[in-house]
Chain A
Amino acid sequence: MSCEKMETRILAYVDGRLKESERAEVEKHLVGCATCRLRVNEFRAVTDLLDELPVIEPSGAFNARVHALIAAEPQKRRDWLAWFTPSPRIAFAASMLLLLTVWLGSQPRPEPQIPVTDLPVVENADYDVISSFSPLSDLSQAPDDDSNDSDSQQPQQQPM
């Protein structure tokens, strides 16, 4: 084992937290490495020094203060009345929903566009295209029916 690898194990070795196999490996290294041996002794000394610090006790009012903090906590309402308790989140969500509804209602409705593909296709219609076709020459003549058209008639003179 190298001295570098010792760095990750030295503290666990001092604390006795190494597995048996790891401990044996560390001890094998320590036999031949005076530097690591010294470091192990110094780390042991540091942990012993840390033990010298006294333990302090919490003040007499500690528990009472914790109880007071807990008593000051707002109680959660679990009964059916809780349903009627105003909730900012629900109020916000409801107002957003209302606004959305109003906005959608105020938008002009576009004319329904029927796609070409949706148009009905008439097949085998009982319609004689040829016989219903009027030659262009016929269009130059005024239709007989037009003589009765009131708009095209000259005003007739009334007999004196």
Chain B
Amino acid sequence: MTRSDVQLMLDVKAGDQQSFELLLQRYRTPLVNFLYRMVRSREQAEDLAQEVFLRVYRAREDYEPSAKFTTWLFRIATNLALNSVRDHRYQKLEVSMDAPITVDAEDGEERMMEVADEHPDIEQHLVEETRKKMIRHAIEKLPEKQRAAVLLHKYQELDYAEISKILQCSESALKSLLFRAYETLRVELAPLVAKAAK
């Protein structure tokens, strides 16, 4: 039988290292993806995710199952991500002024813009890449709190009560935050949305 997150964490509290490994295995991919979409750097996302697990481990002795484990985990992750984004904002602005024109920044590797080949597969590939890039940039352009709300809602599928606890706001404020975020995305992705909504 699969042990719940809370049970695993209580076992970690009791000194069971194996339970910590299970939690690490269960949440490393969701955490890295969430943080990657928040900070837009794979290396930084991994560093932050490792810090999240370290903090969970440090807090094991004081752990009380008063809330869902995911609420606690993503609250730590969100706080770290928001701090990191704020710390790096000025630095990023400085870098982007000198950066070359690129078509993609996936995985932190900047690739120079290439002219499409006559080959249809490559053309199709470029169309898809451009589409993904648009989506990524639309998410990236959202204010940090709206971005965190969208990522927790869409990719982690957390319920409104959990997300509002993570972001420390009321449920009605969260709904309003999400509505504004989706409105912005709808406008930013208008060319793609118009095709899909027909």
Contact = CB atoms under 8 A, between A and B. Distances in A.
Interface of A: 7-8, 10-12, 15, 17, 38-39, 41-50, 52-59, 62-63, 65-66, 69-70, 73
Contacts of B57: 70, 73
B193 interface: yes
Interface in B25-82: 25, 28-29, 32-33, 36-37, 42, 46, 49-51, 53-54, 57-58
Given A45-B193, A52-B132, A63-B28, A58 B46 contact: yes
Nearest to A50: B154
A65 B45 CA distance: 13
Contact of B28 (A39, A50, A62, A73): A62
Given A8-B175, A43-B182, A50-B150, 14 more contacts: A7-B176, A11-B175, A15-B153, A17-B159, A17-B160, A41-B197, A43-B186, A49-B185, A50-B135, A53-B136, A53-B139, A58-B46, A62-B49, A63-B28
A49 B196 contact: yes
A70 B54 contact: yes
A49 B176 contact: no
A13 B192 CA distance: 21
Contact of A53 (B32, B50, B135): B135
Contacts of A39: 186
Contact of B29 (A17, A46, A53, A58): A58
B171 to A, nearest CB: 9
Contacts of B21: 63
Contacts of B54: 66, 69-70, 73
A52 B131 contact: yes
B132 A7 contact: no
A150 B50 CA distance: 103
Contacts of A53: 37, 132, 135-136, 139
Contact of B185 (A46, A58, A59): A46
B107 A58 contact: no
Nearest to B25: A63
B21 to A, nearest CB: 8
A115 B175 CA distance: 71
A45 B197 contact: yes
A23 to B, nearest CB: 15
Closest 9 CB pairs of A and B: A45-B196, A41-B197, A45-B193, A45-B197, A58-B32, A8-B175, A69-B54, A66-B53, A46-B185
Interface in B130-159: 131-132, 135-136, 139, 150, 153-155, 159
16 contacts: A8-B175, A11-B153, A11-B182, A12-B160, A17-B159, A42-B186, A44-B197, A46-B189, A47-B154, A50-B155, A55-B33, A56-B33, A63-B24, A63-B28, A65-B46, A69-B54
Contacts of A65: 46, 50
